Amino acid sequence: MIRPDRILLLCLFAVSLLSGCRKELCYNHEEHSLTVKFNAVASWMCEWEVAGFKDWSTEWNPAWPREYDEFRPDPAEGIRAVVYTGDKAVEYNIGTEGGRVQMSEGTHSILFYNNDTEYIVFDQLNSSGTASATTRTRTRSGFKALHEGERTITPPDILYSEYIEEYVAEKTLEPIDIPITMHPLTFKYLVRYRFKSGQKYLLRAQGALAGMAEKVYLQDGHTDGTASTILFDCKVDDLGCTATIQSFGVPDYSVTEGYTTDQSDKRYTLTLEVQLKNGKKLDFEFDVTDEVKAQPRGGILQVTDIEISDEDGQQGSGGFDPDVDDWGDEIEIPLPIG
């Protein structure tokens, strides 16, 4: 027969097991044991243009229909962390505000970027130095190349990144909070087309901006010399045509050094293709080299005094149906095979 005092001790022991372990008694559990506990705490730099010749946030025209802050991007919906250890790269997903990133004891470098993009194409993520982002090819029927050899692309999604060059991970009992700042790698150009005459004939419009960076490097946000042409849609309104273009900025640009090559022969071209209510199409081309060079990562581009003659606007439609034409663009989206 078991003595009553022994029964009491057994009951107390069983209750302690059912109620969960106390921290000081369960160091064999990962949460309470000596392990690497890297906890990223994210903040977001939500800027749509930086490093321009003007500070548009202070020089914004109050007569413009939208406010400066309306163009600021939102924080992303999630973050991907890539932990580099020697020649090995391991990926983890964490939330918008950050989270726990798994890693072993020792020295690592860590790349962070948002994982909620649609058109962004990532490349060479096996190394932090080569990790880059570009965007998908976009084609337009009848579009003639503005600059020889440039790929035509869709505007990229909002993209952020942060990079920790060296982190020495040590085992601890408590989590280590590491602040990270997610910096923008894509920027907005607000494009305004203003008409001297013939605006009343406009049905719809689209445009292109040639000479822009085709890709950006995630580690430090620099761009190389590869240029591309961004195809975009416009909105026709009472003031003319407007567009908001997402871009990686200009080629050969470094966040810390500015332009990395001689820019004297570099040029940027902006176009506008309009379709009139009578079905006629007109093309306009503008040299915006000086304006883009002065605004390497987002800003405002405006062209004025565009003219559409009454002769063009009043010609017969010849049975034109505005809903059946080849106006739209095509975006190449690779499909998985197998």
pLDDT in tens, 69-108: 999 999 999 999 999 999 999 999 999 999 999 999 999 9
**Mean pLDDT in residue range 100-119:** 96
Q: Is residue 101 part of a domain?
A: yes
Phi-psi region of 131 (alpha: psi -120 to 50; beta: other; left: phi over 0): beta
Q: Is residue 336 part of a domain?
A: no
Checking if the pLDDT of 319 tops 60, the result is no
For residues 149 and 131, what is the distance between their CA atoms, to the nearest angstrom?
A: 24
| Predicted local confidence at residue 48, as pLDDT | 98
More confident site: 330 or 240:
240
Backbone angles phi, psi at 18, to 5 degrees: -70, -30
Enter the DSSP assignment of 137.
B
| Predicted local confidence at residue 104, as pLDDT | 95
| Predicted local confidence at residue 336, as pLDDT | 40
| Predicted local confidence at residue 239, as pLDDT | 83
Checking if the pLDDT of 27 tops 50, the result is no
More confident site: 244 or 16:
244
| Residue carrying structure tokens 């500015």 | 258
The answer to whether 278 touches 313, Cβ cutoff 8 Å, is yes
| Predicted local confidence at residue 112, as pLDDT | 98
**Mean pLDDT in residue range 208-214:** 98
Q: Is residue 180 part of a domain?
A: yes
| Predicted local confidence at residue 330, as pLDDT | 72
Checking if the pLDDT of 267 tops 90, the result is yes
Instruction: List pLDDT tens digits, range 29-74.
Output: 556 688 999 999 999 999 999 989 989 999 999 888 899 999 999 9
Checking if the pLDDT of 325 tops 90, the result is no
**Structural domain total, the chain:** 1
**Mean pLDDT in residue range 265-276:** 97
Which sign, positive or negative, has the C-alpha torsion 233, 136, 327, 268? positive
Asked whether the whole model's pTM tops 0.95, one would answer: no
Number of helical H runs and strand E runs in the chain: 3, 25
Q: Is residue 16 part of a domain?
A: no
Q: Is residue 15 part of a domain?
A: no
The mean of the pLDDT values for the chain is 89
Least confident of 11-20, 263-272, 280-289, 327-336: 11-20
Containing structural domain, residue 289: 27-331
Nearest to 98 by CA among 121, 114, 117, 120: 114
Q: Which two tokens stand for residue 333?
A: 């989206």
| Predicted local confidence at residue 326, as pLDDT | 63
Q: Is residue 58 part of a domain?
A: yes
Q: Is residue 1 part of a domain?
A: no
Which sign, positive or negative, has the C-alpha torsion 156, 161, 163, 169? negative
Q: Which of 12-47 are b and which e, b meaning 16 or more Cβ less than 10 Å from the residue's Cβ?
A: eeeeeeeeeeeeeeeeeeeebeebbbbebebebeeb
| Predicted local confidence at residue 238, as pLDDT | 85
Q: Is residue 14 part of a domain?
A: no
Q: Which residues contact 66 (CB under 8 A, 6 or more apart)?
A: none
Confidence band of 322 (pLDDT split at 50, 70, 90): low
| Predicted local confidence at residue 3, as pLDDT | 57
Confidence band of 315 (pLDDT split at 50, 70, 90): confident
